[in-house]
Structure 1
Amino acid sequence: MTHAMHYNVSRLSDLDIYLFKEGNHTKLYEKFGAHKMHHEGVDGIHFAVWAPNAQSVSVRGDFNDYATESHPLKLREDDSGIWEGFIEGVEEGLTYKYHIVSKFHHIVHDKSDPFAFFSEKPSKSASCIWSVDGYDWQDDTWMKTRHKVNAYDAPVAVYEMHLGSWKRKVEEGNRYLSYRELAVELLAYLKQMHYTHVEFMPLTEYPYFGSWGYQVTGYFSATARFGEPHDLMYLIDVLHQNGFGVIMDWVPSHFAVDMHGLVNFDGTALYEHEDPQKGFHPEWGSYIFNYGRNEVKSFLISSAMFWLDKYHIDGIRVDAVASMLYLNYARKEGEWTPNVNGGNENLEAVAFLRKLNESLYGEFSDIMMIAEESTAWPMVTRPTSIGGLGFGFKWNMGWMHDTLKYMSFDPIHRQHHHHQLTFSLWYAFDEHFMLPLSHDEVVHMKGSLINKMPGNTNQKFANLRAMYAYMMAHPGKKLLFMGGDIAQYSEWNFEESIDWHLLDDPYHARLQKMLSDLNLIYRNERALYQHDEKHIGFEWIDDGDYQHNCISFMRKSDLPDETVYIVCNFADETWENYKIGVPCEGEYVEIFNSQSSCYEGWNIGNTEAITSIKETMHGREYSITLTLPPLGVIYLKKV
């Protein structure tokens, strides 16, 4: 069959070109790439690619035996730099690449389509002619109500996971689960554990499995490792129908160096910054986008929009925001050039991030935009109209570092590091925070969470249970990486399954049970989440008892009788007759104890209701007397 070329056809209007060049086109995926089309009585595929410095561009694929010259595209007569053409008779499912000859030094590249919706399974790298339309979504109820689930005053408990190493089929060559298999097994696990959201590490196509998805080549292409696009849609659809939100990691901070990808696309630094001080990432060995180039802004914003639009993603966690914000990130003196104001801020990246958040929230007001931002950059989660970056949430890396550091000390030394436990409350309400115990904390010789804890096995587990209970009560949304909820001993290995066999051991099984119970308590106790980002939701009872390694505080909702009282004892001694001040007369009961025997704890605590006495304590009229379990956290409520 001959596949004739047609050039008198375009999917791009003058407005599309104008918006693209202005950096304001947010849905380029509707226009660029390979799209099925009916033209002059024949079916075929329309191709469009941006390559302004190319001398020629042709499509080579299955349909022409990958010939380099038989199907050339035509450069538009405007100054957009877009090459396009319609090839009749070509069908979906075939593979292709763009054969690009540059004007400069006659550089020749075969490139994957930056706008491909699907790609060959790595290590192959051709793009696939594919449609992401036609999936029959069944999540209308979820989509209409998800604003409640993603809200600041909602409980958010996120399970972070890497699809390729969550659960492997060892008996079938250690293969990973498909998207459709995950729709069964992951769903069951999220239900068992009472999470509210799942966060997938990047699913955009990437060549090197060892990059975990963070070295991207296909910004519109769901990785083929686990199935086809509709299979991923099915997984998300099933999760939505069962009440779980889906967050996806997305990487606009850098991209892969693989030559079939974006790098040196038309023989020039097209997507990346030409200046190596701005365009190459020394820490990750990858290329950095040119955030000042309008067409690149349109490309990236369209990528994020695509996942929200076509895949019904509920939130995007933007990776490595700090690396974008600072010109001197991971660079020594002399390796970076100050901005026009003499500072180290990347003004172009700042403008891009603001535009990104404005665009996405403008289209989908009910999503979550989450920044992994590790510095004290101000107003990350404040509106762009008042100078903020416009994100919805920010990972609280300070809380994470301080808490893990504090917990790593032997209890006998903790009194000298008490400030690391309390410091986070000085800034807890400056941003809309999420508390992350993420994959980054259990790789690269950092050790697993359980092995960061001091002591013997009993003490390690008690410490870990106490840390989780403290985390769940601390202001901020929650995120825990897979393996943490079964106290996996080994660091995360992306090539192996989580060590599920550990659940044969009561210590691990009952810690998992505790986290399931904690997630449920968190979801049921409004005081633990309603005012996460407001001072009115938190009140210290006593933050200064460093001699006993203890802190106590209240979490509050709009209704006083919903207040939860939290007392943490990070000493390895039981404290009998421990008094705390309370605001109201009445009886108080334990609703949670991390040292309960049902969690393989030491069963020390308060089994009976505690009656307050009229005795001023901690500036309050009444007090109660408690038994504090060693290395334990208790939650109390007034009945």
Structure 2
Amino acid sequence: MNSVKTYTLFTDHDIYLFKEGRHYKLYDKFGAHSVEKDGVKGVYFSVWAPNAKKVSVIGNFNNWNHKDHILYPRWDESGIWEGFIAGLTWGTLYKYAVETAHGEILEKSDPYALSWEQNLQAASLVSTTWYEWDDKEWLENRWKVNSLKAPLSVYELHLGSWVREIDAPKQFLNYRDIAKKLVPYIKEMGFTHVEFMPVMEYPYDPSWGYQITGFYAATSRFGSPQDLMFLINELHKNGIGVILDWVPSHFPGDANGLHRFDGSFLYEHEDPRKGFHPDWKSYIFNYGRNEVKSFLISNAMFWLERYHVDGLRVDAVTSMLHLDYSRNEGEWEPNMYGGNVNLEAKAFLQEFNTAVYKEFGDNIITIAEESSDFPMLTKPVHAGGVGFGMKWMMGWMHDTLDYFKEDSANRKFHHHKLTFASMYMYNENYMMPLSHDEVVHGKASLIYKMRGDEWQKFANLRALYVYMFTHPGAKLLFMGDEFGQTSEWNFTQSLDWHLLEYPVHKGLQTLVKDLNHIYRYEAAFYENQFDPSGFEWVEADDVENSVYIYLRKGKKRDDVCMVILNLTPRVLDYKIGVNAGTQWEVIFNSDDEKYSGSGVKSEIFLEKNEEWMNHPKSISINLPPLAGIILRQKKDKKYKLHRIKHKR
């Protein structure tokens, strides 16, 4: 006798939207839900398996027997199997036993499960995302923090290796323990947001979370869904936004995952030219299938709604948009127009951005990791764009790192690697990323990408950070880079926090703190960061001296800062053209001794009313070696240095 009773959470309208690809809250329907039927408490299960011959629920409650609890197929040809099992409660372990059309029995974890076991079997758990949030004030005002006209400085981290206990280096910290350490650190450092590498359930630690099996489950490596919510809640209460890495580009072929879910190519594209990723040996979603679109967009909504996250950074967008990505000639099929754009993937991304911005407005941000020059990625969908809020500025990252790898004597031959970004920096809304991808796989840590002896390496990196934090666009820095982690990132262990015992590392960390505070409190650096009116070159062509000078401007006429980079190891006396009636003061010098610099003071030692650099007036200033300095146009009130004070 079948112990499953008939029950449904779906309305006819739900089914219609699901099949149309426009149901964006499927997590309210699919999965395991604690309900009551005829006065009896239990769990309602529902799963999409349209090509299955039979689907049953197996678990620790029936000794994993696939014959006892068989779900009912819906009458509406939606492919949904559902039913109610009395007596089950939170913590029940379960899977779906899916009998394929050929009689094969596949044991599958629930695609909509809220929690998964942390072992090889990785069963799903009947769970809940109920949590008593305490971040109402943040949610009501976060549109100000997430605005394109606000400073946005992101600290990217991997929860498993940011920090571990000294006496238990092989053990992960719980989300709550991470909160105790992370919240005060981010607050002190001055970052506006954190970005977590994927927190969705994944089976393989070396994938860093990018090979996801449980798209709706917070990984149990670090605790329960409520533990992750506690971490996010604490960040919000302290004025810190949370961005999650989201991976709608591919999934692994684990036996209990989405691959061949009902014996057919259900979630993935059947044609391997579109459905298999040659680099990652994973499977690509079928973006042309409406039910798959509903699954993915609902997943984005889930993290934004249930976990209160403030943004999604969408991984591997380039691979999604290009049919020929990492494929040789003959290994891909052109689209209907003969091009290489995956039109179904583009339409999906447009639908995703339209849906989440319609639901949450400017309270959230979507960010594309996209390394090509795909057009209009951050333009509105109604104008023909893809609709992202921002895009990683990969060209800027590559050019900048290539430049700083050069010996100072050779930099004159590569001078315009640092000016080239100004040719296109307003084509999109850019975020400048120095991410985890730049410090793994033999690429070396950031500090060891720099040329020269130890002093020069740190001076170069300090100057690079000045360039990054004063360049138009949002900022992203990977954990450890703020204090000069010397080894490549290793996901199996904590960062080398002991390095902060050394002055050069402590000084670099102090510099990043101060740059964050200048970026956040000087309107010149953020108000027009996505507007051409916010930037002006003063000197872009001094190849021989490797000097760069530019202005950053806010909305008010006197909100102006000047950035000067001297990227040679020589102290220079330098003459700069300025506007009539302006006076300037030095507010930041990366060569300051408190940053472990050489201590060469940068002072304006001469002002003349003579034309220079096509300006009616000039100033003379000494430039420290391998350094970046920031000048501020004086106002009636003197610049308040307390703005960049911080706890020591």
- Give yes or no for TM over 0.5: yes
Q: How does 1:328-367 map to 2 (within 5 A)?
A: 328-365=324-361, 366-367=363-364
Which amino acid counterpart does residue 494 of structure 1 have in structure 2? F
In the alignment, the residues of structure 2 paired with residue 246 and residue 524 of structure 1 have an alpha-carbon distance, to the nearest angstrom, of 21
Q: Percent identity?
A: 53
CA contact (8 A) 1:33 1:48 kept: yes
CA shift for structure 1 position 17: 0.4
What are the superposed Cα offsets for residues 469-519 of structure 1, whole Å, 9 maximum, x if unpaired?
110000000000001011011100000110111111100011001101110
CA contact (8 A) 1:538 1:556 kept: yes
One of 142, 157, 161 as aligned partner of 1:165? 161
Structure 2 gap ranges (5+): 635-648
Aligned twin of 2:232: 236
Aligned twin of 2:284: 288
In the alignment, the residues of structure 2 paired with residue 416 and residue 605 of structure 1 have an alpha-carbon distance, to the nearest angstrom, of 28
CA shift for structure 1 position 581: 1.1
One of 180, 186, 207 as aligned partner of 1:184? 180
CA shift for structure 1 position 452: 0.3
1:624 equivalent in alignment to 2:622? no
CA shift for structure 1 position 40: 1.1
In the alignment, the residues of structure 2 paired with residue 606 and residue 585 of structure 1 have an alpha-carbon distance, to the nearest angstrom, of 22
Aligned twin of 1:140: 136
What are the superposed Cα offsets for residues 21-49 of structure 1, whole Å, 9 maximum, x if unpaired?
00000000000000011111111110000
One of 94, 100, 103 as aligned partner of 1:102? 100
One of 207, 215, 234 as aligned partner of 2:203? 207
Aligned twin of 1:457: 454
One of 307, 311, 316 as aligned partner of 1:315? 311
Aligned twin of 2:640: none
In the alignment, the residues of structure 2 paired with residue 239 and residue 55 of structure 1 have an alpha-carbon distance, to the nearest angstrom, of 47
1:570 equivalent in alignment to 2:567? yes
Aligned twin of 2:265: 269
Aligned twin of 1:407: 404
SS at match of 2:418: helix
1:378 equivalent in alignment to 2:375? yes
SS at match of 2:333: coil
What TM-score do the two structures reach when normalised by structure 1?
A: 0.98
CA shift for structure 1 position 357: 0.2
Which amino acid counterpart does residue 568 of structure 1 have in structure 2? L
In the alignment, the residues of structure 2 paired with residue 232 and residue 596 of structure 1 have an alpha-carbon distance, to the nearest angstrom, of 40
1:122 equivalent in alignment to 2:119? yes
Aligned twin of 2:25: 27
CA shift for structure 1 position 419: 1.3
SS at match of 1:412: helix
Q: How does 1:19-98 map to 2 (within 5 A)?
A: 19-98=17-96
One of 434, 442, 445 as aligned partner of 2:442? 445
Aligned twin of 2:643: none
Aligned twin of 1:175: 171
SS at match of 2:56: strand
One of 597, 600, 607 as aligned partner of 1:601? 597
CA shift for structure 1 position 196: 0.4
Higher mean Cα deviation, 629-638 or 120-129?
A: 120-129
CA shift for structure 1 position 127: 0.2
Which amino acid counterpart does residue 60 of structure 1 have in structure 2? I
Aligned twin of 1:392: 389
CA contact (8 A) 2:606 2:621 kept: no
1:636 equivalent in alignment to 2:631? yes
CA contact (8 A) 1:3 1:90 kept: no
Which amino acid counterpart does residue 337 of structure 2 have in structure 1? N
What are the superposed Cα offsets for residues 334-365 of structure 1, whole Å, 9 maximum, x if unpaired?
10010111000000000000000000001011
One of 546, 563, 572 as aligned partner of 2:543? 546
1:224 equivalent in alignment to 2:220? yes
SS at match of 1:521: helix
Which amino acid counterpart does residue 349 of structure 2 have in structure 1? L
In the alignment, the residues of structure 2 paired with residue 19 and residue 584 of structure 1 have an alpha-carbon distance, to the nearest angstrom, of 63
In the alignment, the residues of structure 2 paired with residue 296 and residue 3 of structure 1 have an alpha-carbon distance, to the nearest angstrom, of 30
Distance 1:173 1:573, change over 3 A: closer
CA shift for structure 1 position 594: 0.6
CA contact (8 A) 1:3 1:89 kept: no
CA shift for structure 1 position 449: 0.3
SS at match of 1:543: strand
CA contact (8 A) 1:549 1:571 kept: yes
In the alignment, the residues of structure 1 paired with residue 121 and residue 303 of structure 2 have an alpha-carbon distance, to the nearest angstrom, of 23
Higher mean Cα deviation, 275-284 or 597-606?
A: 597-606
Which amino acid counterpart does residue 492 of structure 2 have in structure 1? E
CA contact (8 A) 2:169 2:493 kept: no
CA contact (8 A) 2:572 2:623 kept: yes
What TM-score do the two structures reach when normalised by structure 2?
A: 0.97
CA contact (8 A) 2:2 2:70 kept: no
1:485 equivalent in alignment to 2:500? no
CA contact (8 A) 1:373 1:395 kept: yes
One of 495, 498, 502 as aligned partner of 2:499? 502
In the alignment, the residues of structure 2 paired with residue 635 and residue 520 of structure 1 have an alpha-carbon distance, to the nearest angstrom, of 13
In the alignment, the residues of structure 1 paired with residue 89 and residue 37 of structure 2 have an alpha-carbon distance, to the nearest angstrom, of 14
In the alignment, the residues of structure 2 paired with residue 107 and residue 547 of structure 1 have an alpha-carbon distance, to the nearest angstrom, of 71
CA contact (8 A) 2:2 2:68 kept: no
SS at match of 1:54: coil
CA contact (8 A) 1:381 1:432 kept: yes
Structure 1 gap ranges (5+): none
SS at match of 2:581: coil
CA shift for structure 1 position 586: 4.1
SS at match of 2:370: coil
What is the root-mean-square deviation of aligned Cα atoms in Å? Answer: 1.1
Which amino acid counterpart does residue 339 of structure 1 have in structure 2? N
SS at match of 1:175: coil
Which amino acid counterpart does residue 51 of structure 1 have in structure 2? A
In the alignment, the residues of structure 2 paired with residue 193 and residue 307 of structure 1 have an alpha-carbon distance, to the nearest angstrom, of 26
Which amino acid counterpart does residue 11 of structure 1 have in structure 2? L
CA shift for structure 1 position 610: 5.0
SS at match of 1:509: helix
In the alignment, the residues of structure 2 paired with residue 98 and residue 127 of structure 1 have an alpha-carbon distance, to the nearest angstrom, of 9
What are the superposed Cα offsets for residues 316-337 of structure 1, whole Å, 9 maximum, x if unpaired?
0000000000000000111001
